[in-house]
Amino acid sequence: MRNVDYKRARLFQVDLLAFRNILEIDKEQMIARVEPVVTKGQITHITVPINLSLAVVADLDDLTIFGLINGNDIAGNSHIYSLFSYTVIAYEKVLAIALLELQTMMNILISSMLSLGLQELLAGAKGGPTTKMLTYTPFVGNLQELAKGYMDSFTPKDCDEDQDNVSEFVEAMIYSPTEVVFMTGRYASKEETKKKGNNINSLGWRFKPWFYQHAKSVLKKGEFLEYILTREYYHRHTRHLSWEGKPILPFGDQWWFRFLLGWLMPSKVSLLKGTQREAIRNYYREMHAIQDMLVPLYEVGDALEWVHQEIE
């Protein structure tokens, strides 16, 4: 990981903590008006109970709206709705000359996409039921075969343009160069969920296995299907900080810790960073890699091989 001390030494920090309010949710036009430091956790807490959701919902609770717009804005349904940035209707931007400017999508595409640190205010919203049906599928092969399996898990077959046949949510977790689990999902109605024999996984309980470890179990027991409450699905990576929990808290995934102290997770990332000792910081700086990559589907296999060769 890159040393970020330069940020503290050279940049002037602006306190934006006051700008963390959800101003309006228009259920007719399906638009949410929010301030820039509103987090994904705040939004799902408000929208899911009223059967609404943002079109693109990121993984971690603490990710903010302006952080998603300007950086890590891809999610499991981006193959349908594209990046989070592209679901934005308009921005209200404060310029350096102290003027408030309303920017539409055309201005946004020119001036703001993937520019970390800028300040935007509005996000679009999209509706959906309160439960998701999720199918876990194991796959074994080399990296090129894994990439092809990933594409086949959600792309339309035989030029089928019927969106009903395309999974609404797609995710792949690679556990080794030869093992991957594909997850495809869609919204499900309450009536479907309550049918006899359906497996409902209360993923949000503190003593439950971390999600990526739960998904890994499919490599041994084979493909299965389950139903998860929508909000719990959105927060599936929260407790283990999207794979980062294990190196930070090595025993955090143990059954005894989850049962007795699971309520402590997730710890605030800012708190964990503030309490890190020099040895841990050096480990992350020299041995730990975190890299977001936006790669065309036809190059995913080559990208996986390159990353494995360079990192491993």
Q: What is the CATH number of the domain that holds 29?
A: 3.30.465.10
Say yes or no: 154 and 121 in one domain: no
- Give the integer Cα–Cα distance in Å for 238 and 234: 9
DSSP state of 266: S
The predicted model scores a pTM of 0.77
Say yes or no: 136 and 257 in one domain: yes
Say yes or no: 120 and 154 in one domain: no
pLDDT attached to residue 149: 83
Domain assignment of residue 148, yes or no:
yes
Domain assignment of residue 242, yes or no:
yes
Domain edge (last residue) among 79, 111, 127: 127
Domain assignment of residue 297, yes or no:
no
Say yes or no: 160 and 280 in one domain: yes
Say yes or no: 147 and 195 in one domain: yes
- Give the integer Cα–Cα distance in Å for 221 and 230: 25
Domain edge (last residue) among 105, 127, 149: 127
Pairing of strands 131-140, 179-188: antiparallel
Say yes or no: 157 and 213 in one domain: yes
Say yes or no: 51 and 199 in one domain: no
Contact 76, 169 (CB under 8 A): yes
Domain assignment of residue 302, yes or no:
no
C-alpha dihedral sign at 232, 29, 163, 110: negative
- Give the integer Cα–Cα distance in Å for 86 and 65: 13
Say yes or no: 279 and 169 in one domain: yes
Say yes or no: 33 and 139 in one domain: no
- Give the integer Cα–Cα distance in Å for 281 and 279: 5
pLDDT attached to residue 124: 36
Say yes or no: 89 and 145 in one domain: no
Give the residues across from 226 on adjacent strands. 134
Say yes or no: 86 and 155 in one domain: no
- Give the integer Cα–Cα distance in Å for 82 and 64: 18
pLDDT attached to residue 129: 53
Q: Within 13 Å, how many C-alpha atoms sit on residue 258's CB side? A: 16
Phi-psi region of 49 (alpha: psi -120 to 50; beta: other; left: phi over 0): alpha
Domain that holds residue 93: 5-127
pLDDT attached to residue 275: 66
pLDDT attached to residue 161: 53
Question: Tokens at residue 171, please?
Answer: 């995710």
Domain assignment of residue 309, yes or no:
no
Domain edge (last residue) among 127, 162, 195: 127
Could you read off the pLDDT tens digit of each residue along the chain, which spans 312 residues? Answer: 555 565 565 666 667 777 788 888 888 888 888 888 888 888 888 888 888 888 888 777 788 887 787 766 778 888 877 788 777 777 776 665 555 555 555 555 545 544 433 443 333 333 445 677 788 888 888 888 888 888 887 776 555 555 566 788 888 888 988 999 998 888 887 778 877 677 788 888 888 999 999 999 999 988 888 998 888 888 888 888 877 777 777 788 888 988 888 888 877 766 766 666 777 777 777 777 777 778 888 888 898 898 888 877
pLDDT attached to residue 88: 78
- Give the integer Cα–Cα distance in Å for 247 and 288: 10
Domains: count for the chain:
2
Question: Tokens at residue 202, please?
Answer: 């209360």
Say yes or no: 136 and 225 in one domain: yes
Burial 279-300 (b: 16+ CB within 10 A, else e): eeeeebeeeeeeeeeeeeeeeb
Q: What are the start-end ranges of the E strands in the chain?
A: 22-26, 31-34, 52-53, 90-94, 100-104, 122-124, 126-127, 131-140, 169-176, 179-188, 224-229
Domain assignment of residue 193, yes or no:
yes
pLDDT attached to residue 284: 73
Domain assignment of residue 151, yes or no:
yes
